[in-house]
């Protein structure tokens, strides 16, 4: 379980995240919604050790991780796929996956087969240099790299961003399949309709704060969510 309490984060004088509380239960898929600039990425970056919070705590399965260095956060079991993907452009698909395997807690080469089963496109392109692949393929590889670390908690920032609808479907089918297997997931997504169709629980952020939370059914009926995200 991931528990975030009273998390605040700033960029100089800009208070991007102000006292955020959220919880992702083990084996659940939790979504964080919000419009541009609401503070979603800053929340995720603070959780993942890429941005040092001003205050608050981030607890993963009983361990405080908010002030750990990035590689220690990964070793504690949290894998983050940032906005804009992170693949090593000059390396091939299989080299990218192997490299991430070393960063994890329990490097396991068999994970590669699991990732190729999840994303057959990656299997077809295993010898291809990552930098020459489409945005969708790079997103799949970025998720694959995160999975190579065998995360307890997978954290994804807008995996659908900039992708064609057919590719968004493939990426979401994979997210749903991972969730069914019991992978715990925290997902930031702009497309509320898709997000609410797959999640167990959701939070809505506005100006650095959580303003609404609930089950997908509750959120779909919430007037603010309806107006801002589903109309």
Ligand X SMILES: Nc1ncnc2c1ncn2[C@@H]1O[C@H](COP(=O)(O)OP(=O)(O)OP(=O)(O)O)[C@@H](O)[C@H]1O
Kindly list the residues in this chain that would bind ligand X in the complex (CB under 6 A): 11, 14, 16, 34, 36-42
Closest residue by Cα to residue 16 from 32, 47, 40, 48: 40
Q: Rule CB under 5 A: is residue 213 a binding residue for Mg ion? A: no
- Name the DSSP letter for residue 230: -
**What does 42 interact with, of Mg ion, ligand X, none (CB < 5 to 8 A by kind)?**
ligand X
**What does 213 interact with, of ligand X, Mg ion, none (CB < 5 to 8 A by kind)?**
none
Q: Which of 41, 76, 92, 96 binds Mg ion (CB under 5 A)?
A: 41
Nearer to ligand X, 47 or 175 (CB): 47
Residue in this structure with the two tokens 């930031």, named with its chain if needed: 188
For residue 198, the surrounding DSSP H or E stretch is: helix 192-198
Q: Rule CB under 5 A: is residue 92 a binding residue for Mg ion? A: no
User: What b-and-e string marks burial along 41-71, b requiring 16 or more CB atoms within 10 Å of the CB?
Assistant: bbbbbbbbbebebeebebebeeeebbebeee
Nearer to ligand X, 38 or 93 (CB): 38
Alpha carbon 52 to chain centroid, angstroms: 18
Nearer to ligand X, 16 or 93 (CB): 16
Stretch that binds Mg ion, among 41-49, 51-59, 200-208, 219-227 (CB under 5 A): 41-49
Stretch that binds Mg ion, among 36-44, 100-108, 140-148, 219-227 (CB under 5 A): 36-44
For residue 191, the surrounding DSSP H or E stretch is: none
Q: Which phi and psi (to 5°) does residue 56 adopt?
A: 105, 175
* Contact positions vs Mg ion (CB under 5 A): 41
């Amino acid at each position: 379980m991931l528990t975030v309490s009273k998390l605040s984060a700033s960029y100089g004088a800009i208070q991007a995240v102000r006292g955020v509380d959220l919880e992702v239960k083990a084996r659940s898929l939790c979504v964080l919604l919000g419009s541009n600039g609401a503070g979603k990425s800053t929340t995720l970056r603070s959780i993942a050790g890429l941005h040092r919070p001003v205050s608050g705590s981030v607890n993963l399965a009983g361990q405080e991780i908010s002030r750990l260095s990035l590689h220690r956060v990964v070793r504690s079991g949290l894998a983050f796929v940032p906005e804009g993907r992170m693949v090593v452009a000059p390396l091939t698909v299989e080299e990218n996956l192997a490299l991430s395997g070393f960063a994890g807690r329990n490097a396991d080469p068999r994970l590669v087969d699991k990732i190729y089963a999840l994303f057959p496109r990656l299997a077809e392109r295993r010898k291809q240099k990552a930098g020459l692949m489409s945005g969708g393929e790079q997103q799949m590889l970025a998720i694959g790299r995160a999975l190579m670390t065998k995360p307890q908690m997978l954290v994804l920032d807008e995996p659908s961003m900039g992708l064609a609808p057919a590719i968004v479907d493939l990426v979401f089918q994979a997210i749903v399949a991972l969730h069914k297997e019991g992978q715990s997931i925290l997902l930031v997504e702009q497309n509320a309709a898709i997000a609410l169709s797959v999640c167990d629980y959701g939070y809505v952020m506005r100006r650095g704060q959580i303003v609404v939370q609930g089950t997908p059914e509750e959120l779909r009926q919430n007037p603010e969510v309806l107006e801002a995200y589903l109309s």
